[in-house]
Amino acid sequence: MEQTILNDVTALVEGSRDAMVSSIDDEGYPNTKAMFRVKNEGLRTFWFSTNVSAIRTGHWQKRPQASVYFVDSEGFHGLMLTGDMQVCTDNETKLAFWKEGDEQYYPQGPEDPDYCILRFTAERGNYYHGLSKHLFRTEDMPEG
Amino acid sequence: MEQTILNDVTALVEGSRDAMVSSIDDEGYPNTKAMFRVKNEGLRTFWFSTNVSAIRTGHWQKRPQASVYFVDSEGFHGLMLTGDMQVCTDNETKLAFWKEGDEQYYPQGPEDPDYCILRFTAERGNYYHGLSKHLFRTEDMPEG
Percent of chain B scoring above 70 in pLDDT: 98
Residue B37 β-bridge partners: none
Domain spanning B3-140: which superfamily? Electron Transport, Fmn-binding Protein; Chain A (2.30.110.10)
Cα torsion B91, B94, B95, B97 to 10°: value is 160
- Of the candidates A32, A66, A73, which has its C-beta nearest B69's C-beta? A32
Distance CA B25, CA B130 (A): 31
Percent of chain A scoring above 70 in pLDDT: 98
- Judged against a pLDDT cut of 60, whether residue B70 lies above it is answered with yes
Q: How many CB pairs under 8 A join A and B?
A: 87
| Residues 65-124 (B) with a CB less than 8 A from some CB of A | 65-67, 69, 71, 73, 78, 80, 82-83
- Going through B59-131 in order, the beta strands assigned E by DSSP cover 65-72, 77-88, 115-129
Do A36 and A48 touch, CB atoms closer than 8 A? yes
Q: How confident is the model at residue A143 (pLDDT cuts 50, 70, 90)?
A: low
The full set of domain ranges for chain A reads: 3-140
Q: How far is B122 from chain A (nearest CA, A)?
A: 11
Which amino acid does the sequence have at B103?
E
Contacts of B80 in chain A (CB under 8 A): 31-33
Q: Is A50 helix (H, G, I), strand (E, B) or coil?
A: strand
* Angle of CA points A113, A118, A121, to nearest 5°: 155
Distance CA B96, CA A126 (A): 31
For A87-133, how does the pLDDT look when each residue is reduced to its tens digit (9 = 90+)? 999 999 999 999 999 999 999 999 999 999 999 999 999 999 987 89
Q: Is B24 helix (H, G, I), strand (E, B) or coil?
A: strand
Q: What is the mean pLDDT of chain B?
A: 94
B129 close contact with A: CB closer than 8 A: no
Distance CA B75, CA B56 (A): 29
Rg (alpha carbons) of chain A, rounded to whole number: 16
Our measurement of the distance from residue B55's CA atom to the centroid of its chain's CA atoms, rounded to an integer in Å, reads 16
Mean of the pLDDT values across residues A75-79? 92
Q: Is A108 helix (H, G, I), strand (E, B) or coil?
A: coil
Mean of the pLDDT values across residues B27-51? 95
Do B141 and B43 touch, CB atoms closer than 8 A? yes
Subunit contact A66:B29, Cβ cutoff 8 A = yes
Within 8 A by CB and 6+ apart from B107, the residues are none
Q: Is the ipTM of this complex over 0.90?
A: yes
